[in-house]
Amino acid sequence: MKIVAIKDPPAQVAILDLPATLDAGAPPYVFLHGLGSSSIATFPEIAAHPALAASRSILIDLPGFGYSSARAQALGGMAGGRLDAWSFSVEDQAQVVVQVLAQLEISRVQLVGHSMGGSIAIALAATRPDLVARLVVAEPNLDPGRGNLSAHIARRSEREFVERGYGMLVRGMQQQASRGDTGAAIFLRTVLQASPVALHRAAVSLRAERTPTFRAQFLEAPMPRTFIAGEHSRNATASELVPFDIEYVEIPGAGHVMMDDDPDAFARAVASGAEHAGSDRS
C-alpha cells in the first residue's frame, strides 16, 4: 500500500498499486469503490484475476473512506484530521482521482467504478475524457434520487446522521452480521473505517439533481464503455444501452455487490472490452 499526497483537499490518499505481470504498456485499471466501501478491501482479488493481472491495477480509497479515512490514524488523513471543510461530492472526488493519477504520472487508464465509484468514474470521464481509455461501471447511480443506501443516509440532516444515524447504521449491520449475513459482515468492516461526514455528504451528492445527469453523461461519453449489472439488482437494461454502443454484461445470480457474489464473473466482465482500450506505448 502507498500513500499519495494531494493538495485539494490537503489529504493523504491510500492506494494499492499492483504491477503488470505481462502487458506493462496497456492503460492500467483504476478501481473506485462504492459508498462506505474501500477499493483496497474490495478489489485485490479482482485485480489479481488471470483475466486482469497482465495489466497494472491501482486501487484507490477515496478521502473519508477505507484507508484514506481520518479514522485510519496511522496513515494520516485530511489536514489536521479534519473532514468538515470539504464537500465529498461526486465531482470533487473525481478531481481527487485526477490528482492521484497526476502524482503517479499516469496519462491514460481503464476506469472501473462500482456504485458510487461508477458515478465518480462517469463524472471524471465527462470532465477529462483524455484520461479515460475505457469506462467500466457496475451499477452506478445514474439518476437523481436513486440508491437505497444513499437514501437511507441522506434522509437525515448531516448533524442527525453524524450524531445518531451513523451509529444506528452500524448497529443494524452488526445485527445482520450476527444472523449470518456475510455481505453485511464484509461491508461493516469498511463502514467502520468511513467518516460519517463523508458518508452523508457523498450520499447527498449522489442523489442530487444535476445537469446533465450521470445517465446522460454516460450515454454521451466518447470512449468505449461497459456497464456491468447483477441479475437481481440491475438499474439499467441492455435495451437502454446497446443503441449507444455500450457493452452490457449481466452477471447471473448476482446482486448489487456482484464482485463478492461472483468474483470470477465480475473480473471477466471488467476484462471483456479491454482490447478496445488501446495502449500507452509510444
Query: Rg for the chain (alpha carbons), in Å?
Result: 18
- Report residue 100 as a C-alpha cell: 492521484
> Largest Cα–Cα distance of the chain, in whole Å?
55
Q: Contact at 8 Å (CB) between 200 and 149?
A: no
pLDDT digits (tens, 9 = 90+) for 145-199: 888 899 999 999 999 999 999 999 999 999 999 999 998 999 999 999 999 999 9
Measured CA to CA, the distance from residue 227 to residue 204 in angstroms comes to 23
Angle separating helix axes 196-207 and 116-127, nearest 10 degrees: 60
pLDDT digits (tens, 9 = 90+) for 98-151: 999 999 999 999 999 999 999 999 999 999 999 999 999 999 999 988 888 999
Q: Contact at 8 Å (CB) between 242 and 249?
A: no
Identify which has the larger pLDDT, 134 or 244. Answer: 134
Sign of CA dihedral 129, 132, 133, 134: negative
Identify which has the larger pLDDT, 262 or 282. Answer: 262
Instruction: Check whether 66 has a pLDDT greater than 60.
Output: yes
Amino acid identity of 22?
L
pLDDT score, position 84: 67
User: pLDDT above 90 covers what percent of the chain?
Assistant: 77
Instruction: Check whether 81 has a pLDDT greater than 80.
Output: no
pLDDT score, position 253: 94
Q: Contact at 8 Å (CB) between 249 and 227?
A: yes
CA-closest candidate to residue 29, choices 74, 60, 65, 71 = 60
pLDDT score, position 146: 83
Mean pLDDT of 210-223: 95
pLDDT score, position 99: 97
Instruction: Check whether 246 has a pLDDT greater than 70.
Output: yes
- State the CB neighbour count (10 A cutoff) for residue 79: 13
pLDDT score, position 281: 38
* Band of pLDDT at residue 222, cut at 50, 70 and 90: very high
pLDDT score, position 70: 57
CATH (one of 2.120.10.30, 1.10.490.10, 3.40.47.10, 3.40.50.1820) for 2-144+208-276: 3.40.50.1820
Find where cell 444513499 sits: 150
Measured CA to CA, the distance from residue 160 to residue 168 in angstroms comes to 11
| Domain residue spans of the chain | 2-144+208-276
Find where cell 502487458 sits: 23
Mean pLDDT of 229-233: 90
CA-closest candidate to residue 110, choices 66, 54, 58, 162 = 58
pLDDT score, position 234: 63
Angle separating helix axes 166-178 and 182-193, nearest 10 degrees: 150
Residue 75 CA, distance from chain mean position: 21
Instruction: Check whether 223 has a pLDDT greater than 50.
Output: yes
N-term to C-term CA, the chain: 29
pLDDT score, position 52: 95
Average pLDDT, the chain: 90
